[in-house]
Chains A and B, each alone.
Chain A
Amino acid sequence: MSAPAIQETGSLAALLDFCREVTQDTEFGEAKRWLEKHPGRKAFGCFPIYTPLELIHAAGMLPVGVFGGGNQIEIAHADSRFQSFVCSIVKSTLELGLTRRLEFLSGMVFHSICDPARNLASVFQRNFPEMQIEYIHFPQNFQSPECVVYLESEYRRVLHGLEQLAGHQVTAEDLNHSIALHNRIRAALRDLYRIRAESPHLLSAAETWLLMRVGTLSAPEEHLQLLEQALTEIPRRATRPKDRIRVILEGSFCEQPPLGLIECLEEAGCYILHDDFLQGGRWFTGDVPLEDNPLRALAESYANRSVYSGVKHDLRERKAEHLIRSMRETKADAVIFLAAKFCEPALFDYALYRRAFDQNNIPHLLVEFEEKAWMHDRARSEVETFVESLLFD
């Protein structure tokens, strides 16, 4: 199955079925098909959260989101390398490697998002010497103008490594072409989120997740087509609004909750108006400008026009401000904080959020999850109780 076939069927349901199939495939079939169709080209894996995909794409390679194994694989080897108190995505990503599912990739890029992810980059480098391991240190000093200067140099360093792998230089024109393409994808994703916030009965959070996640596993050009098709179809849906509470969901920016859990939260009586799932794909609040120095434009956009993320410590705004603003904008009733078990960045954030929620009388609920879970009964009953307390109070 491939995206053009979907266009023929023309139905949103078929489109979502296609997404479901691609995203549950731990053998990365879509990416491998792309490689078959493009002999001599390479695929490059990206660990969450944000990767400047334009660098990989402009070098002629396929960026592939390697975001753990979800609940589709069993961890049999990686748990002897990473301890029980380390989050699942770190272990399941290593498991993908140890079970040789990542051999089609020429390399992987990791980022300075947290301590286990950083050590994972080293463990990958030792265990898979045939892979080119890149590591991006994203700046954490947003108060200084030097932040942008540094990040541009960091992007140049990483691009240089990619050029060597690809065997050719990447021009500013190549980069701008990739930025323009990804701008369109990001704009389409922002549109999906706008629809969700305005008419949540038209598009569920789980469906949005599928439409985004498929893009991390297939070619960006095809993803854009698919999104544009979905955007035409969604407003034509005949679904009616239900009596649900309106919530903002936060905390799932890295390890992804099982799709079943997202569906379960919605079925328990929530419209999820906004979330931080897969946020790397829609990192910017607007388009990245097309300039003579595209690396500078990407760096500058990172510093000044990117979304809030639990791994970006931007001290220009207090921690919970973005959530309170988002609540106001979407007229949400409550916040559900959905954190991956053992995820330190999310769990630390929660302590500050809780304080801010209590000070601002915002109802909130903490739910912890693990990507590998199949049963969500406990989360369902917690959310149902929470919903009831809001609906009938």
Chain B
Amino acid sequence: MAKEELIWPDASKGTPPKMEAGPPREEKKSAYQGRMHLLQKEMIGRYYERLTAAAEGKGDKAVYMMISGNPVELIQAFDLLPVYPEVNALQLAVKKQCLPYILQAEEMGYSIDNCAYVKADVGMYFGGRKTPFATIPKPDFILCNYVGCNVYLQWFEHLAEYSGAPIYNLDIPFSRTASGAPTAEDLRYVVKQLEEVIEICERMTGKKLDYAKLQRIVALSGETGELWSEIKKLTRRRPAPFDAYFDSVTMMAPLYCLRGTEDGLLFFQEAYREMKEKADQGEGPLPEEKFRFVIEGPPPWPYLRTFRDMFSRWGAVAVASTYSTVGGLWEFGFRHDPQRPLESIAEHMLTWNLTNRNFLQRYQQIKEYMEAWDADALVIHSVKSCRLFSAGQGDMREYFTKDLGIPTLLIESDIEDPRYFAEAQLRNRVDAFFESLEHKKLLAQQKGRGGNHP
């Protein structure tokens, strides 16, 4: 194997000659570039500068946390720096830097079958923590917000052993009652733990929690959530003003890294203005919106553009995505509440995010998207690394196709490991799916016009 191949496998290798059938091949760049995008770049750039400064000993103390339903508001209230290994791992994939780190972790004893986010992060940790986007600081405190994903527990336990940093498992009872709502005891348990986290932060920083400041931060999160929710509702329109999968990820970085800050709010005010404008003018991310689909599962970060183009060429736009709700389910009504900051942070962690909800609640969420966002089809992107998302998606497909009669495509690759992205195979599956969807649409139109009757 050539050295280059080892660093980055060529996903298109072995791609068969392009077939003549299918939509016209206008390989237009479909990614959205606008004010929002530039602002995101600038703000996230500043966030990464803070990380580098912390790594060089000139910045704030670093608190490692996970993305799904986290108490970043508390961390912001102590002026501590939130660091997200998931975000760093995905950036390594986007920048096509992750594979050597994954291989390094596998040499250390991690299995080929372990989550590649963890492996990329561990490899990077031992590889000097210097990335093209920032130098990642070592943790001063590891706050494992165990929200659904069991790998989180492993990941942070490992980082704690490697770094020697203090660790606290913030245990969030999983959604498991008949109504889906957390019990009163669950809420009490989480609030009590948040109070313990406050004590740890007070010891770390040597200052008492400023309750009024926490309320202001929680209010900022509340307003941010409101805007994000409104933005997501815009894709109910025809055409959808942006792609709720591929463009949502642009907005997810500020939502996670900057939530609870003035910058974060500013970003969402700008994003809402811009998206609303586009919606009002009837503009979408593609020249023509031919298909509206809902997508379930995380994206293949190492080949995001390639993957996006597989749908764009069919005029297919994602109008809703489950992935964009990993960190919170604002579009279904959640708002942080400054009048009850700890309780609302606890509710966010317990029930208002995708990962702490059970699999059947996810079926329900997708069903709501299909109906309220008026979609033609469901695409399930099954990733090997994240079994929280993927384990059992065959049953999900069964439910949507057999019980609900919704055209559903199930495809597999990975969120982080480029070795699992088989471009030719994926393209064939996507093409076949939309071809048949197009055919069905045509038949339905003919039927509508009475074309079937002689």
Residue A140, interface by CB 8 Å: yes
Determine which of A81, A119, A135, A347 lies in contact with B398 in the assembled complex, contact meaning CB atoms within 8 Å: A81
Residue A209, interface by CB 8 Å: no
Which residues of B are found within 8 Å of A80, using beta-carbon distances? 394, 398
Residue A72, interface by CB 8 Å: no
Which residues of A are found within 8 Å of B382, using beta-carbon distances? 83
A350–B110 alpha-carbon span in the complex (Å): 7
Known: A116-B387, A154-B173, A319-B161. A313 touches B153 (CB 8 A): yes
Which residue from chain A places its CB closest to the CB of B359 in the assembled complex?
A: A122
A157–B157 alpha-carbon span in the complex (Å): 29
Which residues of B are found within 8 Å of A349, using beta-carbon distances? 154
Interface residues on chain A, size class: 35 or more
Mark out the residues of chain A between 61 and 106 whose CB falls within 8 Å of any chain B CB in the assembled complex: 79-83, 85-86, 90
Mark out the residues of chain B between 163 and 221 whose CB falls within 8 Å of any chain A CB in the assembled complex: 167-171, 173-174, 176-177, 183, 185-186, 189, 192-193, 196
Q: Is chain A's interface secondary structure helix, strand, loop, or mixed overall?
A: helix
Known: A85-B384, A118-B174. A140 touches B169 (CB 8 A): yes
A336 → chain B closest CB, angstroms: 15
A68 → chain B closest CB, angstroms: 15
Which residue from chain A places its CB closest to the CB of B355 in the assembled complex?
A: A115
Which residues of A are found within 8 Å of B161, using beta-carbon distances? 318-319, 352, 355
Which residues of A are found within 8 Å of B171, using beta-carbon distances? 139-141, 144, 147, 150
A79–B395 alpha-carbon span in the complex (Å): 10
A140–B173 alpha-carbon span in the complex (Å): 9
Residue B388, interface by CB 8 Å: yes
The contact string, 1 if C-beta is below 8 Å from chain A, for chain B 106-121, is 0011110111001000
Which residue from chain B places its CB closest to the CB of A350 in the assembled complex?
A: B109
Residue A143, interface by CB 8 Å: yes
Contact between chains at A315 and B174 (CB < 8 Å): no
Contact between chains at B157 and A313 (CB < 8 Å): yes
Contact between chains at B169 and A115 (CB < 8 Å): no
Interface centre among A121, A157, A311, A313, by most chain B C-beta atoms within 10 angstroms, is: A313
Contact between chains at B114 and A347 (CB < 8 Å): yes
Residue B432, interface by CB 8 Å: no
Contact between chains at B150 and A351 (CB < 8 Å): no
Which residue from chain B places its CB closest to the CB of A153 in the assembled complex?
A: B185
Known: A125-B360, A126-B395. A150 touches B185 (CB 8 A): yes
Contact between chains at A115 and B174 (CB < 8 Å): no
Which residues of A are found within 8 Å of B388, using beta-carbon distances? 115, 118-119
A167–B158 alpha-carbon span in the complex (Å): 46
Determine which of A127, A313, A341 lies in contact with B395 in the assembled complex, contact meaning CB atoms within 8 Å: A127
Contact between chains at B158 and A141 (CB < 8 Å): no
Known: A143-B169, A315-B157, A344-B115. A119 touches B391 (CB 8 A): yes
Contact between chains at A115 and B387 (CB < 8 Å): yes
Contact between chains at A146 and B358 (CB < 8 Å): no
Residue B151, interface by CB 8 Å: yes
The contact string, 1 if C-beta is below 8 Å from chain B, for chain A 342-357, is 1011011111101100
Residue A391, interface by CB 8 Å: no
Mark out the residues of chain A between 340 and 384 whose CB falls within 8 Å of any chain B CB in the assembled complex: 341-342, 344-345, 347-352, 354-355
Contact between chains at B391 and A345 (CB < 8 Å): no
Residue A120, interface by CB 8 Å: yes
Contact between chains at B359 and A82 (CB < 8 Å): no
Residue A137, interface by CB 8 Å: yes
Residue B229, interface by CB 8 Å: no
Contact between chains at B387 and A140 (CB < 8 Å): no
Which residues of B are found within 8 Å of A113, using beta-carbon distances? 150
A126–B419 alpha-carbon span in the complex (Å): 34
Which residue from chain B places its CB closest to the CB of A152 in the assembled complex?
A: B185
Known: A315-B169, A351-B109. A86 touches B391 (CB 8 A): yes
Which residue from chain A places its CB closest to the CB of B185 in the assembled complex?
A: A153
B113 → chain A closest CB, angstroms: 5
The contact string, 1 if C-beta is below 8 Å from chain B, for chain A 312-347, is 010100110000000000000000000001101101
Contact between chains at B391 and A137 (CB < 8 Å): no
Residue B331, interface by CB 8 Å: no
Which residues of B are found within 8 Å of A85, using beta-carbon distances? 113, 384, 387, 390
Determine which of A90, A135, A157 lies in contact with B174 in the assembled complex, contact meaning CB atoms within 8 Å: A135
The contact string, 1 if C-beta is below 8 Å from chain B, for chain A 119-134, is 1111101110000000
The contact string, 1 if C-beta is below 8 Å from chain B, for chain A 255-277, is 00000000000000000000000
B422 → chain A closest CB, angstroms: 14
A140–B196 alpha-carbon span in the complex (Å): 15
Which residues of B are found within 8 Å of A355, using beta-carbon distances? 108-109, 161
Contact between chains at A341 and B185 (CB < 8 Å): no
Which residues of B are found within 8 Å of A311, using beta-carbon distances? 150
A140–B189 alpha-carbon span in the complex (Å): 12
Which residues of B are found within 8 Å of A123, using beta-carbon distances? 359, 392, 395
Determine which of B105, B186, B387, B392 lies in contact with A344 in the assembled complex, contact meaning CB atoms within 8 Å: B387
The contact string, 1 if C-beta is below 8 Å from chain B, for chain A 382-393, is 000000000000
Which residue from chain A places its CB closest to the CB of B420 in the assembled complex?
A: A85
Mark out the residues of chain B between 132 and 154 whose CB falls within 8 Å of any chain A CB in the assembled complex: 146, 148-151, 153-154
Residue B426, interface by CB 8 Å: no
Which residue from chain B places its CB closest to the CB of A150 in the assembled complex?
A: B189
Determine which of B113, B115, B192 lies in contact with A144 in the assembled complex, contact meaning CB atoms within 8 Å: B192
Known: A154-B173, A157-B183, A351-B108. A146 touches B193 (CB 8 A): yes
Which residue from chain B places its CB closest to the CB of A133 in the assembled complex?
A: B176
Residue A306, interface by CB 8 Å: no
A155 → chain B closest CB, angstroms: 11
Residue B365, interface by CB 8 Å: no
Which residues of B are found within 8 Å of A119, using beta-carbon distances? 358-359, 387-388, 391-392
A102 → chain B closest CB, angstroms: 16
Which residues of A are found within 8 Å of B114, using beta-carbon distances? 344, 347-348, 351
Contact between chains at B398 and A118 (CB < 8 Å): no
Residue A114, interface by CB 8 Å: yes
Interface centre among B177, B387, B388, by most chain A C-beta atoms within 10 angstroms, is: B387
Determine which of B160, B189, B393, B399 lies in contact with A146 in the assembled complex, contact meaning CB atoms within 8 Å: B189
Determine which of A112, A142, A318, A354 lies in contact with B109 in the assembled complex, contact meaning CB atoms within 8 Å: A354
13 A/B residue pairs, CB under 8 Å, sorted by A? A83-B390, A90-B391, A113-B150, A115-B388, A118-B148, A126-B360, A143-B168, A157-B185, A319-B161, A342-B113, A347-B111, A348-B118, A350-B109
B interface residues with partner A (beta carbon < 8 Å): 105, 108-111, 113-115, 118, 146, 148-151, 153-154, 157-158, 160-161, 167-171, 173-174, 176-177, 183, 185-186, 189, 192-193, 196, 358-360, 363, 382, 384, 386-388, 390-395, 398-399, 412
